[in-house]
Structures are given as C-alpha cells and as structure tokens.
C-alpha cells in the first residue's frame, strides 16, 4: 500500500488536498444533504454514492447539494439539477417511469403472454385429438380424401406419364 | 385476430431488446454529459492573482475555452504547456480561462509561479462551478461559442497542440 502510494506520487499522480474547512449545514439540513447524497452516484467512483465516497469529485458534488439545500430547493429540484448534467446515470436508484418502465413491466407482460399462449395451445391440442373411429371406418372404408391426397394423386399421375 | 398475440409478444421482446441494448451498449464507466449544445452556466469566482471577481457573462460575444485542472493531477500539469501554446496562438480570437478544481491557493500559486501562466486562473473554493458544468474529473476542457453555447468538452489531457486546433475551429466559425 505504502509502495503503491510512493509509486503513484513519483509518477506525478497526487491527491486532492484536504479543504481547510468543510462547512456542514445545521443538523437537520445536513441530515437531508446526506440522505440526498446517498441517492446520487459519484462521478468518478464505481457505484458509490457521493455521501459515501472520499473522492474530491464526490466532495464537490456534495457541496453542491449543500448549496441547493441552503437555497431551499426541493428534493425533486435537486435530483433534476444533477440529472440535467449527468443524466439518470447519476441516480443510484433508477426511476420506474418512461423507458425504464419497459424493464419493470416487460417481463411481467411477457409472462402473461406466455401463459395465454400455453392456455391457447393446450385448448387447441384438446380439439385436435383423434376422434373415435366411426362405424364406416371400422368396416374398412377409406377416409375421405383431403386436398393433400388429391395433390399426391396428381403428382403420381404426372410421374406415370 | 390469431396473429395479434405473437405480434404483441414480438413487440414487447423487441422493446426489451432495445432497452437492454441501450443500457448495456454503453460503457458503464463513461459519465454521460448532457450540457452539450446548451447555454454555459454563468459563474462568479475570483481570479487567483488579483482577487478580482470574474463572470462568464462578461466574455459574451467571444468564444471561450474553459479548462478545469488541479496541481495534484499529473495529466493537468502535463497539458499546461499545450494550453499555453494554444493561448498564444488564439489569444486574439478567444478567451482562455483556467478554473482550479479541489485544490488550495498556495499549491496553485506555487505551481503557476514555477511553470508560468498567461491566461486568467480562477479559484473555485468549493468546486461547485465544476459541478455546474457536469465535470466528471480533471482535466476537462470546455469549448463555448461566442453565443455562450457549450460546443463539446474534452475529458482528457491535451498532449498535442493539434488536438486543440481541431476543437478551436468549431468555436471560431
């Protein structure tokens, strides 16, 4: 770990310095800042919220939340501010509206359609079951020719020619 | 009527494939940038050298190159000479501004004293201007038209002056 830090510093990669003073808001507002921060994705992290990330980018984003909370913006307005810049990607919990609703409702709709198809197919199979043989059939009478049989007969006749 | 079921099923499957493709077709690590083509947010921050307040509005009517950087960021330091070159080439046609991101004044002044600087460097104490611009890391350089519209950003360091030349053409038209 120490070696990695030294190598990183030697390569010119540094760390953002700690700020001289972070300005948390009064307890109630700060709690709201942290609640909102838990829902917003840090722009440089892997699926970590800005409230949980120590990254300098997350720190800046959280300060922006503080600024917006101080201006008495609603939760929706604060989310909208971030979505306007980073898209819905910034929300750790995606919304269920719009195109996203397809992801939520699509599998259910497919399941419903699948069930309907299964029911319809099973009904169809029941109708297609062979009928009990009639008396004429039992006596050896050939069944009525179908259109396929007629076609077959025509093909045979053509071949004989 | 018989064909309605399969058609609906195909439509839903198609829509699901579209949504999945849209979701998985992108690099999950790529931060979306939605301010392209939109008005550049105004700001009011101080110059590092004079403490004079600077706003974006005061440069309206001139193309602007806005560079977010920090002294703790190696690639930012590496692109410093390239930006200096670009400023010398385009100083008459465009305004160049540097905005220091998540850094302290002491480090920034020391770096600039050692390496020289030509265009105004602004200090954003809480880096909220960077968030206003949808910055996702440093260095990032924004190209703003004379009408104040963001015409793209480069979220990587410039390693060669030609990279800036290509971008400048877009805002100098």
Sign of CA dihedral A9, A49, A36, A90: positive
Mean pLDDT, to the nearest integer, of A52-61? 92
How far is the first Cα of chain B from the last one, in angstroms, to the nearest whole number?
58
Residue A137: the pLDDT is 54
pLDDT digits (tens, 9 = 90+) for B14-64: 887 887 777 677 776 788 899 999 999 999 999 999 999 999 999 989 999
What is d(CA A153, CA B66) in angstroms, rounded to the nearest whole number? Answer: 85
Q: Domain range spanning residue A69?
A: 23-90
Q: Which residue of A has its CA nearest to B21?
A: A103
Task: Considering only the beta carbons, identify the residue of A13, A60, A87 that sits closest to B130.
Answer: A60
pLDDT at B2: 60
Looking at the partner chain, which of B74, B78, B103 has a beta carbon nearest the beta carbon of A16? B103
Q: Is B145 on the interface with A (CB under 8 A)?
A: no
Residue of B nearest to A88 (CA): B32
Q: Flag whether pLDDT at A15 surpasses 70.
A: no
Tens digits of per-residue pLDDT, A105-161? 878 888 888 898 889 888 887 776 665 555 555 555 555 556 678 888 888 888 887
pLDDT at A140: 57
A10-24, A69-83, A94-108, B96-110 — which is least confidently predicted?
Answer: A10-24
Q: For the residues A30-47, what does the mean pLDDT come to?
A: 93
In this complex, do B12 and A60 lie within 8 Å of one another by their Cβ atoms? no
Joined together, the tokens standing for residue A114 give: 């699948």
Residue in B with minimal Cα distance to A94: B23
Q: Is A14–B134 a contact, with Cβ atoms under 8 angstroms apart?
A: no
The reported pLDDT for the residue numbered A104 is 77
Superfamily classification of domain B31-172 = Glutaredoxin (3.40.30.10)
| Dist CA A14 CA B69 (whole Å) | 13
A1 found inside a domain: no
Which residues in chain B have Cβ-Cβ distances shorter than 8 Å to A25? none
Asked if the Cβ–Cβ distance from B32 to A89 is below 8 Å, we say: yes
Q: What is the CA radius of gyration of chain B?
A: 21
Beta bridge partners of B45: B54
What is the percent of chain A with per-residue pLDDT over 70, rounded to a whole number? 74
In a domain, A160, yes or no: no
Picking from B101, B80, B91, the residue whose alpha carbon sits closest to that of residue B159 is B80
Give the 3-state DSSP-derived string for chain B, with helices as H, strands as E and coil as C. CCCHHHHHHHHHHHHHHHHHHHHHCCCCCCCCCCCCCCECCCCEEEECCCCCEEECHHHCCCCEEEEEECCCCHHHHHHHHHHHHHHHHHCCCCEEEEEECCCCHHHHHHHHHHHCCCCCEEECCCCHHHHHCCCCCCCEEEEECCCCEEEEEECCCCCCHHHHHHHHHHHHC
pLDDT for A97 equals 77
Contact partners, residue A14, CB within 8 Å, separation at least 6 = A8, B71, B72, B73, B74
Structure confidence at residue B45 (pLDDT): 95
pLDDT band at A7, cuts 50/70/90? very low
* pLDDT value at B69 more than 60: yes
The chain-wide mean pLDDT, for chain A, equals 80
pLDDT for residue A12: 45
**Structural contact between residues A130 and A143, judged by C-beta atoms closer than 8 angstroms:** no
Span B87-138, pLDDT tens digits: 999 999 999 999 999 999 999 999 999 999 999 999 998 899 999 999 999 9
Place of tokens 């009904």: A123
CATH number at residue A53: 1.10.8.640
pLDDT in tens, B82-98: 999 999 999 999 999 99
Nearest CA in chain B to A112: B9
Number of domains within chain A: 1
More confident residue, A68 or A99: A68
What number is the average pLDDT over the span B75-85?
95
Which residue has tokens 């700001």?
B43
pLDDT: which is higher, B78 or B15: B78
Is A57 part of a structural domain of the chain? yes
Is residue A106 in some structural domain? no
pLDDT band at A21 (very low <50, low <70, confident <90, very high): very low
Higher pLDDT, A83 or A146: A83
Q: Is B128 touching A (CB cutoff 8 A)?
A: yes
Confidence (pLDDT) at B143: 97
């Amino acid at each position: 770990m120490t070696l990695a830090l030294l190598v990183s510093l030697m390569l010119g990669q540094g760390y953002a310095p700690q700020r001289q003073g972070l300005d948390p808001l009064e307890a109630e507002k700060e709690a709201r800042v942290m609640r909102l921060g838990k829902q917003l994705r840090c722009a440089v992290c892997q699926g970590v919220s800005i409230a949980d990330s120590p990254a300098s980018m997350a720190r800046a984003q959280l300060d922006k939340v503080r600024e917006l909370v101080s201006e008495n913006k609603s939760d929706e307005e604060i989310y909208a501010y971030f979505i306007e810049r980073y898209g819905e990607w910034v929300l750790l919990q995606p919304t269920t509206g719009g195109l996203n609703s397809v992801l939520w409702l699509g599998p259910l709709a497919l399941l419903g359609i699948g069930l309907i198809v299964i029911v319809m197919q099973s009904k169809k199979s029941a109708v297609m079951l062979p009928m009990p043989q009639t008396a004429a059939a039992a006596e050896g009478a050939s069944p009525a020719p179908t259109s396929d049989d007629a076609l077959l007969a025509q093909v045979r006749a053509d071949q004989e020619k | 009527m018989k064909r309605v079921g399969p058609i609906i099923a195909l439509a839903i499957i198609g829509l699901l494939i579209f949504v999945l493709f849209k979701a998985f077709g992108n690099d999950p690590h790529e931060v979306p940038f939605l301010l392209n083509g939109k008005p550049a947010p105004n700001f009011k921050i101080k110059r590092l050298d004079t403490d004079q307040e600077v706003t974006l509005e005061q440069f309206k009517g001139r193309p602007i190159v806005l560079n977010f950087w920090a002294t703790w960021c190696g690639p930012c330091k590496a692109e410093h000479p390239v930006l200096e070159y670009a400023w010398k080439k385009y100083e008459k046609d465009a305004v160049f501004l540097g905005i220091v991101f998540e850094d302290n004044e002491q480090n920034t002044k020391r770096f600039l004293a050692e390496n020289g600087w030509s265009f105004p460097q602004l200090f954003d104490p809480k880096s909220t201007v960077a968030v206003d611009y949808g910055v996702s890391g440093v260095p990032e350089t924004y190209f703003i038209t004379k009408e104040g519209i963001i015409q793209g950003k480069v979220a990587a360091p410039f390693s060669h002056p030609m990279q800036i030349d290509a971008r400048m053409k877009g805002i100098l038209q």
